[in-house]
Structure 1
Amino acid sequence: MLQYDLSHQATVMTAVNNFVDYMLNLELSHTDFIAHLCVLISAFQVFDQEGSEYGTSVGAFRNMVQFVEAHRGDVGIEAYLIRLSPKGISNLQTQLRNHRSLYLAEIRLFRQQEKDNQESFLAYVQRILHDHYKVLIVRVDLGYLKASMPNITVQDFYSHIESTRHLLKDKNGCFKHLLGYGLALEQGSSKGYHAHLMLIYNGSERCQDWYLANEVIQKWHEITQGLGYGVNNNTPEKKKQYADRGLLGIGMIHRNQPLEMQNALNVALYLTQPEKFMQRMLIKPLGKRTFFKGIYHEHGRKYKNNHPTSAEAGIWCEQDVDDLLDEPIVIEP
């Protein structure tokens, strides 16, 4: 039997997605299928939000729930499901499986969108890196305390993200001398809704990247009214781990150091990965995006690049990042 954490919206949507994905690829007995539905439907209805855009799998499940609601009459959901005939159960399973082609199309679309985002963001970061002798790169991850997750909906998450983006645009306080940024939104069964943020500062104006990262995390804490937490990836300990493996692309990056430049670009690449389909947002407000970058205006001065990108630069994979960050899945209050 599949196991679920149904304590908050993000995990419920992940549980529904995993259930539908299982149904599209494997078989469940009628008894197990109904047992899962009895658990998932009631949990889903608690966190279902009008005005939201759902991924294909969750949307298919939602349509099936609406079908059940339209046919159960005055009978409770569990009682209705238990009394279903084999034909009725097969009908519900078919409703989910009819979305298989749409699900596969969603995978292809996600990978293409991430590839497009990756190319656009990489070019954006390259312009900034080559425009300045040195830049200061800060990486933080923003999420929510485990105890607060049951109170956080996707609308709350996007509201907090919008507040963060307003601060990024204003470029005051800990965002003063900010040249550009990338912000990727994701969700997971354990981390819930979370964001990966890459900040690029003018290195001639800013230093102490670990301090800036802490200040950004404090801003997130204020925005979320104490419900959020952040992970500082710019601590001396973590930077040493990156450096020992030839992967250091955060902190002070110099234009005349090819390895630093390439690793900084690899940090940018990590924010948009076509392989991270399972961490995609399964629910979001209508018309909202899941990746954002700042606006950068080139200063027009041309520099001769006598230091081509090094072929020996470390290549980051997701496991590299997970190993080096050694990041806790969630932070206890």
Structure 2
Amino acid sequence: MDPCAYHDTLTDDEMLDWLGGLHGGAIISNALGQPITMPSDHYWRKDLIWVDQQLKTMSNGRQVLDHQRLIQPEAFGAERVVLAPDPLLEMLTTLFTVLVTMFHETNIGQYYRPSPYATRFLWAFGQCAYLNEVGFSQPPALSREAAEQVITDLNQRLAAWYQSQQQPDFTYECNRNRRNSANNYKRLCELMEALFVCHSRLQVVRVDIGYTEFDSPYIDYETARYHREQLCYAFNTHSLFNHLLGYAWKLEWQPKKGFHYHLIFFFDGHQCQKDITQARLIGEMWAKAITGGQGLYYNCNLDAERRYCYNAMGRIDYHDFEKQRGLYKLAKYLTKIDEYAAMLVEGRTFQTSRKPERYDGPRRGRPRLYQSTHLTPRSAGF
């Protein structure tokens, strides 16, 4: 593994393992080997992500259905025909069944935000009578003429779906996460710049918080948001945050980890000096007091010098341009919108504290030795 890379993304093996077990995988059991019933929304979240992955693959392949190969006699010598098993047709049926169930037939998808690929698939296929019959009952026997019409209709719908992806509004929607990431990065940079203007030394603490492997499937977004709000409330009430100057958090979701947050804190570096201890205490507050033992945390400050090529943890003085450069690299990562979380929640997935008001009066203590008090994103190499 590249030591310069952050460790938060799924590996290819983890993704393949998850996709392979999405439908009909191993039964989850407790420590005694007893089967555990997973909540249905846990599977629906996985299905929505799986659907998006398959739609992107289909979009790249641009396949169509073959009339001659698909139309087969129902039995030897029979006049009626059926559509033979076909990977593309089976995929269309599965995608149709999942999306229509979530967004048309039930209220399951009311809190989800399907991708542009999925919304246009529903537009193209949502009223397809054949997929509705095949997806929710049994494949019908047809006359040859009717079978030809079915395949023609499906191919026309496929062509319309492919064509919809060439429209400017599709590209605009696909770039929404990129635009949001850029706005988030700008906001976090402005916060950091304002803090270095007002304070000569910051203590940077980063903590990743989530849930145990056993509990994460049961934690829905409302629960994760409530726990995060409880932690944010402590910023104004608990002595652990007496010297907190600013913060930012980002929500993510992964198949094995469920909902989890990445947090970065900026403390007054003259008052708060034990960054590793501070990160541990915040993590323990999350794991024990806020989530009641359901939570887990990772102390990013622990052994940060060895773990990251561009270490931005711990003490950063206003004139330490090298470490500030690492802070901007970290900000770039922290502000990138998680594509999965953006589909699974309607609410906010990133937030920063308010930046402090610029202080233009006389400074206390020794004057600064350097005129430039902070880097800008451009000077940091972005």
What TM-score results when the alignment is normalised by the length of structure 1? 0.74
Q: Does 1:5 align with 2:22?
A: yes
Q: What is the total number of aligned residue pairs between the two structures? A: 304
Give the conservation status (yes or no) of the 8 Å contact 1:220–1:228.
yes
Q: Which runs of 5+ in 2 are unaligned?
A: 1-15, 24-41, 66-85, 142-146
Per-residue CA distance 1:127-161 (angstroms, 9 max, x = gap):
11232121111111222333333323333333333
* Displacement of 1:63: 5.8
Question: Residues 212 and 107 (structure 1 numbering): CA distance in 2 closer, same or farther, change over 3 Å?
Answer: same
Which residue pairs with 1:54 in the alignment? 114
Structure 2 counterpart SS, 1:147: coil
Give the conservation status (yes or no) of the 8 Å contact 2:203–2:275.
yes
**2:20, 2:64 → 1: CA distance?**
16
Structure 2 counterpart SS, 1:231: strand
Question: Residues 118 and 23 (structure 1 numbering): CA distance in 2 closer, same or farther, change over 3 Å?
Answer: same
Structure number with larger C-alpha Rg: 2
Matches within 5 A, 1:61-210: 67=127, 72=132, 77-79=135-137, 85-90=150-155, 93-94=158-159, 96-97=161-162, 99-100=164-165, 101=167, 102-168=169-235, 170-210=236-276
* Among candidates 357, 370, 377, match of residue 306 of structure 1: 370
Give the conservation status (yes or no) of the 8 Å contact 2:111–2:344.
no
Give the conservation status (yes or no) of the 8 Å contact 2:252–2:338.
no
Give the conservation status (yes or no) of the 8 Å contact 1:38–1:78.
no
Counterpart residue type for residue 17 of structure 1: D
Per-residue CA distance 1:50-109 (angstroms, 9 max, x = gap):
24443323444566786469984xx67343567783245435545644552444212323
Which residue pairs with 1:290 in the alignment? 349
Give the conservation status (yes or no) of the 8 Å contact 2:206–2:313.
yes
Counterpart residue type for residue 199 of structure 1: F
Give the conservation status (yes or no) of the 8 Å contact 1:10–1:187.
no
More off after superposition, 131-140 vs 108-117? 108-117
What TM-score results when the alignment is normalised by the length of structure 2? 0.66
Q: Does 1 or 2 have the higher relative contact order (CA < 8 Å, sep 6+)?
A: 1
**2:342, 2:317 → 1: CA distance?**
35
Identity of aligned residues (%): 18
* Displacement of 1:111: 1.7
Question: Residues 58 and 305 (structure 1 numbering): CA distance in 2 closer, same or farther, change over 3 Å?
Answer: farther
Question: Residues 171 and 66 (structure 1 numbering): CA distance in 2 closer, same or farther, change over 3 Å?
Answer: farther
Which residue pairs with 1:20 in the alignment? 55
More off after superposition, 109-118 vs 182-191? 182-191
**2:173, 2:226 → 1: CA distance?**
26
Which residue pairs with 1:262 in the alignment? 325
| RMSD (CA atoms) | 3.8
Which residue pairs with 1:213 in the alignment? 279
More off after superposition, 57-66 vs 172-181? 57-66
Per-residue CA distance 1:148-201 (angstroms, 9 max, x = gap):
333233333333333333333x25243231110111222334443322211111
* Displacement of 1:294: 0.5
More off after superposition, 206-215 vs 295-304? 295-304
Per-residue CA distance 1:1-30 (angstroms, 9 max, x = gap):
974636644432221211121222214565
* Displacement of 1:279: 5.1
**2:230, 2:130 → 1: CA distance?**
39
Counterpart residue type for residue 16 of structure 1: V
Structure 2 counterpart SS, 1:296: coil
Q: Which runs of 5+ in 1 are unaligned?
A: 318-333
Structure 1 counterpart SS, 2:356: coil
Structure 1 counterpart SS, 2:109: coil
**1:156, 1:239 → 2: CA distance?**
34
Question: Residues 57 and 142 (structure 1 numbering): CA distance in 2 closer, same or farther, change over 3 Å?
Answer: farther
**1:316, 1:155 → 2: CA distance?**
38
Give the conservation status (yes or no) of the 8 Å contact 1:182–1:293.
yes
Counterpart residue type for residue 289 of structure 1: R
Per-residue CA distance 1:236-277 (angstroms, 9 max, x = gap):
x233333xx3x121111112322223222332232123xx66
**1:145, 1:134 → 2: CA distance?**
35
**1:225, 1:94 → 2: CA distance?**
52
Structure 1 counterpart SS, 2:370: coil
